[in-house]
Structure 1
Amino acid sequence: MHSLRFTAESSSNGMVERDFTLGDVPGVLWSPASGTERAPLVLMGHGGGQHKKHPAMTGRAQRLVTGCGLHVAVVDAPGHGDRPRSARDEQDIAELRKAQAAGAPEGPIVVPYNARLAELAVPEWQAVLDALQELPEIGPDGPVGYFGIGLGTAIGVPLVAAEPRIVSAAFGMNWPDALFETAQQITVPIEFAMQWDDERIPREASLALFDAFASKEKTLHANAGKHFDMPRFEADSAVRFLARHLGRTVTSAP
């Protein structure tokens, strides 16, 4: 049983950043710089080819921490960030680049690749959550949210389905193939974002995944534009959604 070990700490713009490791899993925990009261936690999953401190992660964390008083944790997915790629990872990525160069569909490659990473990442995330809830500023009884797009959804859907401590989740932009049955097990409130003109994930695929969630409260946000055109305001919407279900109020904008 590994214990959480903090390896670095810094503070800026009202947010404390603490790097940590749990076994061989590296992560980062962002917390409010002021105040010692216990606060809820949001787990964030980064996108494919990204890492725990990608600008998208730090920007969303800033909104959640300084605007809502929440803690935010991100870990590097297997084969991402500070974690080495396996030979299988390299093979899958090479096949993906070949398909992209040829203009071929990406789903047949990305779906099984993401599913393999999720199988490894879900128990890692659960161990990290166990360890974070031992911290006095988080505690074992507070609500937990999840926020992940792309690969963050591929890992997040099975994580939320398996983890009763997570009470709400913001997802988006993924294929339903490996997630359909798991999504049917999820009943917590969901916000789901998609790009209506996505050239990588067919519109019908995004709609099918949204439809699969068994949540009584689920909201679909469909924006015009291609895969990488998701508006920045969708992150703000997800922050408001998570804050509402974690019992917080958005008090300021970073």
Structure 2
Amino acid sequence: MTDLHFLSTTTTNGVLEREFTLGDDIHGMLWSPPAQTAPLILLGHGGGRDAKALPMVGRAQRLVAEGFHAVAIDAPGHGERPRTALDDQQIAAMQEAMSTGVPVGPIVVPYNLHLAERAVPEWQATLDALERLPEIDGPFGYFGLNMGTAIGVPLAAADPRIAAAVFGIFWYDGTLAEHARRIKVPVEFLLQWDDQHIPRDSGLALFDAFAATEKSLHANAGAHKEVPRFEVESMVRFFNRHLR
């Protein structure tokens, strides 16, 4: 059994924030409503970010305001976690592709799926530890865009504790689609209609792959990083419907 260690505990505007480590590699943040038993939402961050990134904190605070717990962990090679030689190579290749206008998908997709192979067991170990806390109650939800989708789709396919999920802003890939076909829980999927990196047909094909009978597509005008902030409110309503 891997021990969960809380490194710090603070309360800000009614949100209990706990930084933690699990084993030698896993580092994360747990946000909670004080003294309240509630469902837990897993937050998967995007590439180049980590568990403490401002978008993660903002989403977590909004979920806590609605009475949920929220947790985020650093993906392999992110935050303060050491990078491998492959991490450095792939990151450099992505940056060069974006600076020269070369399609970045053929680099991002296999690299993110490689990270998912490492991250999924870490997420499951985190769930194993957190569900032993008396204030954490099932079921669990998952939210993750971009790399958060590349990690979250195989996680949701593998772990039956995840009862609802929000994904999006990622490419279609045969391996990822195979995982999606195993996901039958409710899904909300985000797509940017004018995404300069992800072809529209690719995003639509990934949405189509999910086996969920209850799934909804949220397609918004705008480029890759222009997901409207109101989608956070939609996420909150989605989890209220399916986890309460």
Matched residue, 1:184: 181
- Residue identity matched to 1:157: V
Q: Deviations over 1:94-150 (max 9, x none)?
A: 1111111210000110001100000000000000000000001014xx200000010
- Residue identity matched to 1:50: R
Matched residue, 2:8: 8
| 2:119 is the counterpart of 1:118 | no
Cα distance between partner residues in 2 of 1:107 and 1:225: 18
Cα distance between partner residues in 2 of 1:43 and 1:162: 15
Matched residue, 1:158: 154
Deviation at 1:21, TM superposition (A): 0.4
- Residue identity matched to 2:100: A
Matched residue, 1:75: 73
Deviation at 1:176, TM superposition (A): 1.5
| Mapping of residues 1-254 of structure 1, within 5 Å | 1-23=1-23, 24-33=25-34, 36-66=35-65, 68-139=66-137, 142-177=138-173, 178-247=175-244
TM-score calculated relative to the size of structure 2:
0.97
Identical columns (%) = 61
Cα distance between partner residues in 1 of 2:70 and 2:225: 24
- Residue identity matched to 1:232: R
Equivalent residue of 1:100, what SS? helix
Cα distance between partner residues in 2 of 1:19 and 1:80: 16
- Residue identity matched to 2:198: I
Deviation at 1:240, TM superposition (A): 1.0
Could you list the structure 1 runs, at least 4 aligned residues long, displaced by more than 6 angstroms after superposition. none
- Residue identity matched to 1:153: T
Q: Deviations over 1:146-178 (max 9, x none)?
A: 000101000000000001011000011001213
Q: Deviations over 1:207-233 (max 9, x none)?
A: 000000000000000000110111100
Equivalent residue of 2:225, what SS? helix
Equivalent residue of 1:229, what SS? coil
- Residue identity matched to 1:160: A
- Residue identity matched to 1:159: L
Cα distance between partner residues in 1 of 2:62 and 2:241: 14
Cα contact 1:170–1:242 (8 A) shared by 2: no
Equivalent residue of 2:155, what SS? helix
Cα distance between partner residues in 2 of 1:37 and 1:118: 32
Equivalent residue of 2:77, what SS? coil
Cα distance between partner residues in 2 of 1:84 and 1:10: 27
- Residue identity matched to 1:97: Q
Cα distance between partner residues in 1 of 2:201 and 2:36: 45
Equivalent residue of 2:239, what SS? helix
Equivalent residue of 2:16, what SS? strand
Deviation at 1:37, TM superposition (A): 3.6
Structure 1 portions without partners, runs of 5+:
248-254
Number of equivalent positions? 242
- Residue identity matched to 1:6: F
Cα contact 1:191–1:221 (8 A) shared by 2: yes
TM-score calculated relative to the size of structure 1:
0.94
